[in-house]
Amino acid sequence: MPATQHTPVENVAGVAIPKLGLGTWELRGELCSSIVASAIEAGYRLIDTAQGYENEAQVAEGIARSGIAREALFITTKVRPDRLSADKLRQSVEASLEKLGTSYIDLLLLHWPNPDIPLEETIPVLNEVQRAGLARAIGLSNFTSKLLARAWELTEVPFAAEQIEYHPYLAQGTMLAALRQRQMAIMAYCPIALGKVASDPDILDIARSHGRTPVQVTLRWLTQQDGLVAIPRTSKPERLAENFGVFDFALGEEEMARMSALTRPDARIIDEPQWVPEWD
């Protein structure tokens, strides 16, 4: 039976994460607030933002408009890489809480590693933030397998998840294995490759056989994988229902394999060499 939105992704931290959420990267102002409110109305319960997106206050406005109870939502935000020092990290989290209009964050991630700030300084403070109740769970984003291993050596609080770029074109076998080994949820950003999947002939062929769109097939491919969470972003309200409508069908093994075989060299979309000079 196909997995449903009501079957969250479990992890070593014991925090249940919805399988599909709304990404808010590049959404600003009234558009951001409106999309967030509409997404919640459409059934989304995971809302993903970041300090670096500069839209936490607009996300909060959208949540307020929805009228939904805070405890019904799963809010993720991320600490900017220039705020990972011991004297800035907690202060930045408190600022995020104020902007988001909440007393806690469901999942707090380090957005990017910062080679100029050692993890030995960052991870203990991240642990303190979680123990203080400012975040229910903590995790990482854009960490390589080596940095992931080092972070685990330093943490006393288990990491619930890591966000990585993941779509049919980007091979992420090393990271997927490393995260599954540690029983972490895998949160896929740029899951539809900024819309590139919409014109892919292989994905179009699979989509036609199911009476679905290529975007829906791609999101189904992701959420059907073990431990995967997808956080597509859209600026178009009419796309919200399409993106969310992936839990009432399933892909066959051959279709899953066909999608996984679409990887290609140089498929990475988001690359920040000042933070990660060498990917897996």
53 is catalytic: yes
- Please identify which of the residues 44, 53, 166, 169 carries the catalytic annotation: 53
What are the tokens at 27? 């959404």
The size of the chain, in residues, is 280
Helix (H, G, I), strand (E, B) or coil at 228: strand
* Cβ–Cβ under 8 Å, residues 108 and 155: no
Helix (H, G, I), strand (E, B) or coil at 110: strand
Strand 228-230 with 135-141, pairing: unpaired
Task: Please calculate the CA angle 106-5-27 and round it to the nearest 5 degrees.
Answer: 60
| Sheet arrangement for strand 21-23 | 21-23, 46-48, 74-79, 105-110, 135-141, 159-165, 185-189, 228-230
Catalytic residues: 53
